[in-house]
């Protein structure tokens, strides 16, 4: 049975951590599914609708614009040597990788549309 919804005025500025699946190319015709936990800001629908209008005109670049609105950072992201990655650096790199943009955008929409992460 679902819990009763409780209204919270601060809900619009809330940040939610959500797992996202990235299909990372690893070789000729092959990819590896990897998971990253992104922190997303809940963006008001009318503001995201403006980004969607741009996406309809610009294709994948619209996904980058949407993520610039909602993507705050990542949890537990490490470099190959085990050192931490600051959010500013991580955001710049991830938004330049087409497979990351696709996986992060899909993760955001799964979260706001109530779709549970798939294993």
List the chain pLDDT tens, one digit each, 119 residues. Answer: 777 777 776 665 789 999 999 999 999 999 999 999 999 998 887 777 766 665 555 555 778 888 998 999 999 999 999 999 999 999 999 999 999 999 999 999 999 888 876 65
Q: Nearest 10 degrees: CA dihedral of 39, 50, 52, 22?
A: -20
Task: Judge whether 45 lies within some domain.
Answer: yes
Per-residue confidence (pLDDT) for residue 75, from 0 to 100: 95
5 within domain boundaries:
no
Q: Which domain holds residue 107?
A: 16-112
Residue 117 lies in a domain: no
Q: Is residue 68 part of a domain?
A: yes
Residue 38 lies in a domain: yes
Query: Does residue 9 lie within any of the structural domains?
Result: no
Q: What is the DSSP letter of 1?
A: -
Q: Is residue 54 part of a domain?
A: yes
| Burial class of residue 82 in the structure, from the number of CB atoms within 10 Å of its CB (0-12 exposed, 13-18 middle, 19+ buried) | exposed
Q: Is residue 36 part of a domain?
A: yes
């Amino acid at each position: 049975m679902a819990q009763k919804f409780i209204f919270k005025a601060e809900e619009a500025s809330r940040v939610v951590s959500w797992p996202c699946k990235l299909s990372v190319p690893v070789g000729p015709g092959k990819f590896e599914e990897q998971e990253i936990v992104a922190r997303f800001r809940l963006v008001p629908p009318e503001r995201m609708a403006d980004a969607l209008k741009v996406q309809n005109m610009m294709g994948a670049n619209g996904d980058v614009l949407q993520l610039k609105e909602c993507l705050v950072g990542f949890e537990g992201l490490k470099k190959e040597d085990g050192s931490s990655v600051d959010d500013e650096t991580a955001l710049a790199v991830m938004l330049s990788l087409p497979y990351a943009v696709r996986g992060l955008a899909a993760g955001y929409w799964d979260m706001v549309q109530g779709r549970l992460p798939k294993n």
